[in-house]
Structure 1
Amino acid sequence: MGATEPTVHPSAPRQSAEAPKPGSVRSPVGNLKRRPHAKVLVVGGGINGVGTFRDLALQGVDVALVERGDYCQGASGASSHMIHGGIRYLENGEFRLVRESVVERNRLLRIAPHYVKPLQTTIPIFSTFSGVLAAPLRFLTHKQQGKPKERGAFLIKLGLSLYDSFSRAGGTVPRHRFLDHKRALAELPALRPDVKYTATYFDASVHNPERLTLDVLQDGELAGRTGAAPGQGDTARASNYVSLQSMTSRPNPGTGRGSTVRLRDELTGDEFDFTADVIVNTTGAWVDLTNQAMGSTSSFMGGTKGSHIVLDNPALLEACRGREIFFEHTDGRIVLIYPMGDRVLVGTTDVDADMAEDAVCTDEEISYFFDLIGHVFPAVPVTREQIVYTFSGVRPLPRHDATQPGFVSRDYRIERRGPAAGGTGAVVLSLVGGKWTTFRALAEHLADDVLAVLGKERQVSTAQLPIGGGAGFPADEPGVQQWIKAHMAPGRDADRTAGLLTRYGTRAEAVMEYLDAGEDRPLHSTRELSVRELEFMAANEQVGHLVDVLIRRTSLAFRGLVTGELLNEVAEVLAVPLGWDAAARKAEILHAQDVLKRFHRVETPSLVA
């Protein structure tokens, strides 16, 4: 394709030192209205849509993206926070997917080190040869025959050896190791006493999937600004809270090609027309519904719901000893327990989803999670009062009819619908499937398909290109400490500096420049945020609602740190740049409370009258 490997990552744009003027920051949708055409329109702002947007922008394509909610609000923000090869997919015969996933896992550890970290993973094993006869049947039929047969040490050893073989080229993690009963309990004394072995290997985790998605988006926006010809304006424009309502075959009046879609600004209710030559549907589990809105019936999707809980349980945190516990539960489902800071994430379920209902974690799923904890850590008490957050999402899996959810392929395909022969309408590409770990490779595939439609060649490869704040990120812990020390300033101690590095990667330098350019103060309700940092988010990170800051611009909600005082204080600060009057501010607080309670089981008292 004539691609070249970039050796220098574009530097983060300089941010204005001036605080945003009241109500002045809803510019993304304005950019779409002022120039209501793009060669390519990406619909859907999850990680795969945003990755495709970035890739196309780097090729110099005039591209726009719209997302009906906030970026990474759907399945992309409801994942198990893992970047992994998917060892369990081996028994489904998905060798291509596992190989690609391992390669991409290793790559993300290099190009996104600020968010993607090595994750030591241990599998507790309670038998030696169990499942040997059942495994071939699972492999051949993709169904569970009768009562699940627990996978024993022989099968797990075979799988991990194959898994390791996929990491040999460019591998960045150690090979797996087995321990016998005595050494297993010496390492993890809280495990069930009848554990026979443990197998330990490395995958990776992403503790901030929402911020990684935002970094990928901002890379694309930056490429659109730096690559635009004089007078052309930005060639990569993206806006959240913009939904697609309908599509007609009416072409762009200037080019005579493409189709017209009707877009709606979900924050104001305004609607406007937008034309594009190619439309990329990356709306995940909603792909069929989006196609229906565009006047085309499809039945590609058959998503399954996955739920998780987050626990504040020091005993369980200690039992994990800093590693993920990854194992097969009694129903044959592969589940996980792993620490994230001072919290513990437990998941996940895999049940057919009803797209007419909200995806929420149910009482039955919580009972299932408590049962799986007891399966491996029987002496660790867990109570519902220790749950600080729950979340659920619908995996964008292909339609699977009678296939059991656990056996549905996690690979992806791209469906194309074009205009009739001689027609001038837009080409529509629909993404079916896809997983977090492979988003970069998937985006490259989608972008190449778009480039072929446009008759263009790839100019830039993303394979070695650092993502956002991963550029120049310290390589080890001594380097991190040195970076923190070098960026401390009056009023910004080591903890605050470390927090900014964790949240933004090396893009924290631009944030600090903004913070230092005016009078700032930490919030009364949390030391993790300041007034000017909230203003920075409002001006540069497309904050549409109060809840965006709590769930997706920070991890405050995830860690159970949202209080009534915090709701009121953050709403008060955001009200100035976002132009909220007293009534709007109250509505935002009520909206945040509703979202936190309905979707995440978080009860937050309000101090607003």
Structure 2
Amino acid sequence: MGHNRNSGQSVGTQRRGSAAALQERPSAQVLIIGGGINGVGTFRDLALQGVDVALVERGDYCQGASGASSHMIHGGIRYLENGEFRLVKESVVERNRLLRIAPHYVKPLQTTIPIFSTFSGILAAPVRFLTHKQGKPKERGAFLIKLGLTMYDFFSRDGGTVPRHQFLGRDKALAELPRLRQDIKYSATYFDASVHNPERLTLDVLQDGEKAGLSSGKQQGGTARASNYVSLAGMGPHGARLRDELSGEEFDFQADVIVNTTGAWVDLTNQAMGAASRFMGGTKGSHIVLDHPELLEACNGREIFFEHTDGRIVLIYPMGDRVLVGTTDVDADMGEDAVCTDAEVDYFFDLVGHVFPTISVNRDHIVYSFSGVRPLPRHDETQPGFVSRDYRIERSVRTGDAAVATPGGKAAVVLSLVGGKWTTFRALAEHMTNDVLRELGLARKVSTAKLPIGGGAGYPATAEGEQEWIKKHMGPGLDAGRVEGLLTRYGTRAEDVIAYLKAGNDASLRSTRELSVRELEFMAQNEQVGHLVDVLIRRTSLAFRGLVTGELLNELAAVLAGPMGWDEAARQSEVRHAQEVLQRYHRVNVHSLVD
């Protein structure tokens, strides 16, 4: 399976409540294996239906492909070329929906395509459409892009609330983006959406599910339980054999339906359950994050989305004061770590130069990198860029020894998710939930289509409203900047955090103004932090923005030691583990006092 980047037992003594809840009541109607956005979305939907559901994730939530995305919530204009009209329609509907139900994390994104020819690619387009093969790269000209965006507008208008695309000629295009190549002929601008913190959105979805499970109150401890750092070790006569990756404990867990949402690892997970499948053929995608004010200014607040010389669709994407550059699409070896290679970095520098030839980029500008394996279906001779981004659900029934592995003594049904993308996670979860309900003989009670997600409930609808919210929640130790940071990180759930901060003696950290002692305690108590690196990468964006220092590592570890139950050996181990993960997977070298 490759190295689990957050593996390694903690030396601390504190027993985790999330794993303990599974051990104390080791059965459920449904067991979901995999805590990416699709597994977590299904967990939430099932919990809202009153189903007794459990979820386990062998690493941290949103650690795999879900945490290695391009941070886009989009309809997938290029999927039109693949003939995936159903997927585009669903995607734009879900994009528009997420802008409404998750406004704290999903924001409108202005996107510009620079165009360097008028009619290029017209003859090659039907070949791509019919064969899903690139052939000799031939860039798509204005005619094809205009056709695609006109179709995209038709799918995505949302009652007229989404602006139509706009075409500009050379002079006006360069007036808006003067650092673009001077031989540009046109630019096309349209709107999609971004998700600036996919890890925290995943956590919000998870906590919605846990809350729904508690409110149903059928069993002590609720009917929705989830734990990260719990893996599937195998199957036995008493159910699924689960392993707590932090304590090393193993225990059996029974379920009537097992949902396999382990992404690119679906086949390997099925193998661990004693079943052979050949569903997956994932491709690796990498990104780099740059601290490059000149490139940031050149983007003028918009994503630059274009076709590189090899025919690959790539992007340059301003995020706060950083610039995200991606993405590659190469066949993945599931036995190796997914990391951004030097060759991919060179590719990224080349693509920046393709559209911004006067801007120099080098490795000193890189503050972070990440890679993930897309959960794509097996695609044989189809080139990676043309593999379907749609999803399907494969059903199988466990037989033999597993026939006694359910609470009712029947064969367990296994539903394996093949494919799936960030934008459609809610609709996909609805589909999976409906399939599970059918297996259980139950009916849907609640729709998630209009249900706000987590801190998106009551989120201010305007910039002025955000400022009013910030002013209302300011107080001692909570200036405007600190409250704004909390609102950005938690949405309106920041009210719970602020109440926690006020309930005791808090203190700012020396190494960053973005966190305090009590906020870290809140994370440890309420957000299933398993390792120090979870805080750096997935509970905050400190690593993504290149803000991790040795001082920060040591201070965070010292503060977390109490609530996490780490002794001195565990604290030092956590610092070293964070250093290893950041260096091995993200090209970040941090030296600390523990060295």
TM-score range, shorter chain: over 0.9
1:15 matched to which residue of 2?
none
Cα distance in 2 for residues equivalent to 1:575 and 1:458:
43
User: How far did residue 420 of structure 1 move?
Assistant: 5.4
CA distances 1:179-227 after superposition (whole Å, capped 9, x unpaired): 0000000000000000000000000000100000000000000000011
Map 1:188-199 → 2, pairs under 5 A: 188-199=177-188
Q: CA RMSD in A?
A: 1.2
Map 1:116-195 → 2, pairs under 5 A: 116-145=106-135, 147-170=136-159, 172-195=161-184
Cα distance in 2 for residues equivalent to 1:400 and 1:73:
25
1:510 matched to which residue of 2?
496
Code of the residue aligned with 1:72 in structure 2: it is C
User: How far did residue 607 of structure 1 move?
Assistant: 1.1
Instruction: State which of 276, 300, 303 in structure 2 corresponds to 1:297.
Output: 276
- Which secondary structure state, in structure 2, belongs to the residue aligned with residue 64 of structure 1? strand
1:349 matched to which residue of 2?
328
For the Cα contact (< 8 Å) 2:56–2:230, is it kept in 1? yes
User: How far did residue 490 of structure 1 move?
Assistant: 1.0
User: How far did residue 320 of structure 1 move?
Assistant: 0.0
Distance 1:170 1:238, change over 3 A: farther
CA distances 1:232-289 after superposition (whole Å, capped 9, x unpaired): 43100000000001113x36xxxxxxxx000000001000011000000000000000
Code of the residue aligned with 1:108 in structure 2: it is L
- Which secondary structure state, in structure 2, belongs to the residue aligned with residue 521 of structure 1? coil
Instruction: State which of 485, 505, 516 in structure 2 corresponds to 1:519.
Output: 505
Cα distance in 1 for residues equivalent to 2:28 and 2:359:
56
Say whether residues 1:74 and 2:64 are aligned partners. yes
2:3 matched to which residue of 1?
none
2:222 matched to which residue of 1?
234
Map 1:26-65 → 2, pairs under 5 A: 26-65=16-55
Cα distance in 1 for residues equivalent to 2:159 and 2:224:
32
TM-score (ref. length: structure 1):
0.94
1:446 matched to which residue of 2?
432
Say whether residues 1:472 and 2:462 are aligned partners. no
- Which secondary structure state, in structure 2, belongs to the residue aligned with residue 485 of structure 1? helix
User: How far did residue 419 of structure 1 move?
Assistant: 4.3
Distance 1:262 1:414, change over 3 A: same
Say whether residues 1:415 and 2:408 are aligned partners. no
2:235 matched to which residue of 1?
247
Q: Pick which of 426-435 and 165-174 moved more.
A: 165-174
Cα distance in 2 for residues equivalent to 1:447 and 1:164:
30
Instruction: State which of 261, 274, 290 in structure 1 corresponds to 2:253.
Output: 274
Code of the residue aligned with 2:259 in structure 1: it is V
Percent sequence identity over aligned pairs = 79
For the Cα contact (< 8 Å) 1:111–1:471, is it kept in 2? yes
1:584 matched to which residue of 2?
570
CA distances 1:62-120 after superposition (whole Å, capped 9, x unpaired): 00000000000000000000000000010000000000000000000000000000000
For the Cα contact (< 8 Å) 1:25–1:538, is it kept in 2? no
Code of the residue aligned with 1:485 in structure 2: it is K
Say whether residues 1:333 and 2:323 are aligned partners. no
- Which secondary structure state, in structure 1, belongs to the residue aligned with residue 306 of structure 2? strand
- Which secondary structure state, in structure 2, belongs to the residue aligned with residue 398 of structure 1? coil
Structure 1 segments unaligned to the other structure (5+ residues): 1-21, 252-259
Code of the residue aligned with 1:551 in structure 2: it is I
CA distances 1:484-515 after superposition (whole Å, capped 9, x unpaired): 01110111100000000000000000000000
Structure 2 segments unaligned to the other structure (5+ residues): 1-11, 404-409
Cα distance in 2 for residues equivalent to 1:134 and 1:541:
50
For the Cα contact (< 8 Å) 1:23–1:576, is it kept in 2? no
2:99 matched to which residue of 1?
109
For the Cα contact (< 8 Å) 1:124–1:325, is it kept in 2? yes
Code of the residue aligned with 1:574 in structure 2: it is L
Map 1:530-569 → 2, pairs under 5 A: 530-569=516-555
Cα distance in 1 for residues equivalent to 2:315 and 2:31:
37
1:324 matched to which residue of 2?
303
Code of the residue aligned with 2:545 in structure 1: it is R
Code of the residue aligned with 2:438 in structure 1: it is A
For the Cα contact (< 8 Å) 2:96–2:158, is it kept in 1? no
2:337 matched to which residue of 1?
358
Cα distance in 2 for residues equivalent to 1:191 and 1:272:
58
Say whether residues 1:428 and 2:407 are aligned partners. no
- Which secondary structure state, in structure 2, belongs to the residue aligned with residue 520 of structure 1? coil
Code of the residue aligned with 2:21 in structure 1: it is N
Code of the residue aligned with 2:314 in structure 1: it is V
User: How far did residue 25 of structure 1 move?
Assistant: 6.4
Distance 1:133 1:36, change over 3 A: same
- Which secondary structure state, in structure 1, belongs to the residue aligned with residue 385 of structure 2? helix
- Which secondary structure state, in structure 2, belongs to the residue aligned with residue 337 of structure 1? strand
- Which secondary structure state, in structure 2, belongs to the residue aligned with residue 102 of structure 1? helix
User: How far did residue 535 of structure 1 move?
Assistant: 0.1
Q: Pick which of 167-176 and 510-519 moved more.
A: 167-176
Cα distance in 2 for residues equivalent to 1:118 and 1:52:
25
Code of the residue aligned with 1:71 in structure 2: it is Y
For the Cα contact (< 8 Å) 2:259–2:415, is it kept in 1? yes
- Which secondary structure state, in structure 2, belongs to the residue aligned with residue 575 of structure 1? helix
Distance 1:419 1:288, change over 3 A: closer
- Which secondary structure state, in structure 1, belongs to the residue aligned with residue 552 of structure 2? helix
Code of the residue aligned with 2:347 in structure 1: it is Y
Cα distance in 2 for residues equivalent to 1:600 and 1:24:
29
Distance 1:172 1:76, change over 3 A: farther
Instruction: State which of 210, 227, 231 in structure 2 corresponds to 1:221.
Output: 210
For the Cα contact (< 8 Å) 1:49–1:282, is it kept in 2? yes
